Chain A
Amino acid sequence: MYILKLLSTSIKSNLQHDLAYRADLIVNLVLSLIGLGSDLFGLSIIYANTNDIGGWGPSELIILLGVWRLVNVLMNMIIWPNTFNFNMSVHDGSLDYTLLLPVNSQLLISTKRIVIWHLFDFVIAIGLIIIGLAHNTGITSPLQIVAFLGLTLSGTTIIYSLWITLISLTFWFTKFGNSIVIMSAVLDAGRYPAHVYPFWLRALMTFVVPVAVATTVPLQALRGELQWWQAIGFLGIGLIAVWLSSRAWIAGLRRYSGASS
């Protein structure tokens, strides 16, 4: 229960922060629409020249774009801004004050800064998924949609867990704060189905930065290409990732000794 309370407090204070820059809000929304335009335009250029990419049609690529944008909302709304805060607080020792508070520290550092206006991008992403689903004719059973939604959720959670693990490593290697850049570079590959990529890139985006697990895998479930045990397996990996990352965070905290000592 206190998690919800904490979240709503954080959202409230961040909303106040963001409302102080109302002109920025308009600029950001316009830029976000331009970004959407250029993404859709890119897809239209591709489909003007072909009927499918590796067997996937336009409606599937639109759903994939929606799921990929969902992961990006997580990146832009929470991961990027909080990484910046976190790195600073490890360098200057202000993390002490966060740790002194009687609440879950992992939750606190992941929600300290929430860039509220990215909710707009969230709505766009959900909109793309719904439009794509409405135009998709390949769905034969509601179970496919359930699996798709479940895997999208667990895939996004895996990306979050990877982030927690990476920033926990900062306690051992201070310079690791920048590893997030790699994450975001590989993320770009999630726009298109993973099976069009060469083997090494596919391996990179499955095992190192599992963006394919968050984007391509849910779509495969939707296309009915996954066996039930595979779907369960990916969901299980999601749970294990959450558990492992929270262990890494706790282990990291044990190493942290404050800036002065």
Chain B
Amino acid sequence: MFAIYKQMWLVNWAEQWQYRANLLMYLAFWLVSPIVYLAVWTTIASAQGNINGLTAPDFVAYYMMLLIVDIATSDITIHIFAYKIMDGSLSNELVLPIHPVLQKVLVNNLAFKALQMLALVPIWLILYVLYQPVFSITAVNVLLAIPAIAFGFLLQFFAGTTITCISFWTTRAWSISDFYSNIFRLMAGQFVPLALLPAFMQTASQLLPFRLALYFPVQLLLGKLSIEETMLNIGLQMVWCVILFMLFRVVWRTGLKKYSAVGA
């Protein structure tokens, strides 16, 4: 089992390197919007001292941390897998003794992520010098952030694979994925720290799982959460991971039956 993952990692890692120019371009997508929001909110915060108690340096620290966590927990399944369902090349993968999603897409995701992180390091350091964020990072928080980020990624991975599997029935999986990103932008803290949302949106964002994949790990790393809150949120992440995993299994199995029916 482990040997399969290891071998696939090696293949994927080498494959990703072939497309390093493309990787840099996709990195731009992850970079521009946090920097835009950083600029907008720091401009406002420094014009009036603070926004709801958040000062300009708070926003800088928030978005600088978000840059890292966003890449770590994001999922690219729809980009690398939806077309295989649509054009039928999934058939080639189904005959292999490897799970097309839980093994292949997962490893592909991780290899892509690892390279994006490598490319991010120099850019992040330049931004660090430019903005000089002040972090209060403790060893405990970093340790706790490891499971928080891992579960945050799994959460998005199972949500992304479920959405991608909708391609078995309709070509509109892309539209649903766009819709997901729109909600995610507001509810996970990409646009603004959730504390600045209007009251009803804050309640909604607390109940929905999106914040667990981004806002929670960021706040944890910034040292804004107590141990109890952190443990509660990691517990919630696990629950959502299980729910979304079950959902994926159901959609995948029924989808596959539908798929083989098309080929027959």
Q: Is A50 an interface residue (CB 8 A)?
A: yes
Q: Is A1 an interface residue (CB 8 A)?
A: no
- A188 vs B48: C-alpha distance when bound (angstroms): 26
Q: Is B196 an interface residue (CB 8 A)?
A: yes
- A198 vs B172: C-alpha distance when bound (angstroms): 38
Binds B, one of A82-90, A107-115, A123-131, A179-187: A179-187
* Nearest Cβ on chain B to A55's Cβ, whole angstroms: 9
Contact with B along A49-65 (1 / 0, CB 8 A): 11011100000000000
CB of B39 within 8 A of CB of A196, answer yes
Q: Is B129 an interface residue (CB 8 A)?
A: no
Q: Is B264 an interface residue (CB 8 A)?
A: no
Q: Which 8 A-B pairs have the closest CB atoms?
A: A185-B28, A196-B43, A181-B25, A50-B44, A185-B29, A197-B39, A49-B51, A185-B32
CB of A192 within 8 A of CB of B28, answer no
CB of B172 within 8 A of CB of A24, answer yes
Residues of B within 8 A of A46 (CB): 40, 44
Q: Is A15 an interface residue (CB 8 A)?
A: no
CB of B47 within 8 A of CB of A42, answer no
Q: Is B92 an interface residue (CB 8 A)?
A: no
- A198 vs B35: C-alpha distance when bound (angstroms): 9
Across the two chains, which residue of chain A brings its CB closest to B192?
A45
* Nearest Cβ on chain A to B238's Cβ, whole angstroms: 29
Contact with A along B16-58 (1 / 0, CB 8 A): 0000011001101101110110011001100110011000000
Across the two chains, which residue of chain A brings its CB closest to B48?
A50
Q: Is B191 an interface residue (CB 8 A)?
A: yes
Q: Is A5 an interface residue (CB 8 A)?
A: no
- A191 vs B185: C-alpha distance when bound (angstroms): 15
**What are 28 sample pairs from A and B whose C-beta atoms fall under 8 A apart?**
A28-B175, A31-B175, A31-B179, A38-B186, A42-B186, A45-B192, A45-B197, A45-B198, A46-B40, A49-B44, A50-B48, A53-B40, A53-B44, A178-B21, A179-B25, A181-B26, A182-B25, A182-B28, A185-B25, A188-B32, A188-B36, A189-B32, A189-B35, A192-B36, A196-B39, A196-B43, A197-B36, A198-B39
Q: Is B130 an interface residue (CB 8 A)?
A: yes
* Nearest Cβ on chain B to A135's Cβ, whole angstroms: 21
Residues of B within 8 A of A53 (CB): 40, 43-44
CB of B44 within 8 A of CB of A48, answer no
- A197 vs B35: C-alpha distance when bound (angstroms): 8
- Extra A-B contacts (8), CB below 8 Å, given A27-B175, A45-B192: A54-B43, A178-B22, A179-B25, A182-B25, A185-B32, A191-B36, A192-B40, A201-B35
Task: Mark A residues whose CB is within 8 Å of B.
Answer: 24, 27-28, 31, 34-35, 38, 41-42, 45-46, 48-50, 52-54, 175, 178-179, 181-182, 184-186, 188-189, 191-192, 196-198, 201
* Nearest Cβ on chain A to B172's Cβ, whole angstroms: 6
Residues of A within 8 A of B130 (CB): 198
- A35 vs B44: C-alpha distance when bound (angstroms): 24
Interface SS of A by simple majority = helix
Q: Is B138 an interface residue (CB 8 A)?
A: no
Across the two chains, which residue of chain B brings its CB closest to A180?
B25
- A27 vs B176: C-alpha distance when bound (angstroms): 9
Residues of B within 8 A of A52 (CB): 47
Across the two chains, which residue of chain B brings its CB closest to A39?
B182
* Nearest Cβ on chain A to B208's Cβ, whole angstroms: 15
- A86 vs B45: C-alpha distance when bound (angstroms): 45
The one of A24, A28, A178, A192 in contact with B25, judged by C-beta atoms closer than 8 angstroms, is: A178
* Nearest Cβ on chain A to B28's Cβ, whole angstroms: 4
CB of B191 within 8 A of CB of A50, answer no
B74-133: which have CB < 8 Å to A? 130
Given contacts A181-B26, A201-B39, contact A41 B186 (CB under 8 A): yes
Q: Is B228 an interface residue (CB 8 A)?
A: no
Residues of B within 8 A of A38 (CB): 182, 185-186
* Nearest Cβ on chain A to B171's Cβ, whole angstroms: 8
Given contacts A27-B172, A28-B175, contact A49 B25 (CB under 8 A): no
- A38 vs B179: C-alpha distance when bound (angstroms): 10
CB of A175 within 8 A of CB of B21, answer yes
Residues of A within 8 A of B48 (CB): 50
CB of B191 within 8 A of CB of A45, answer yes
Residues of B within 8 A of A181 (CB): 22, 25-26, 28-29
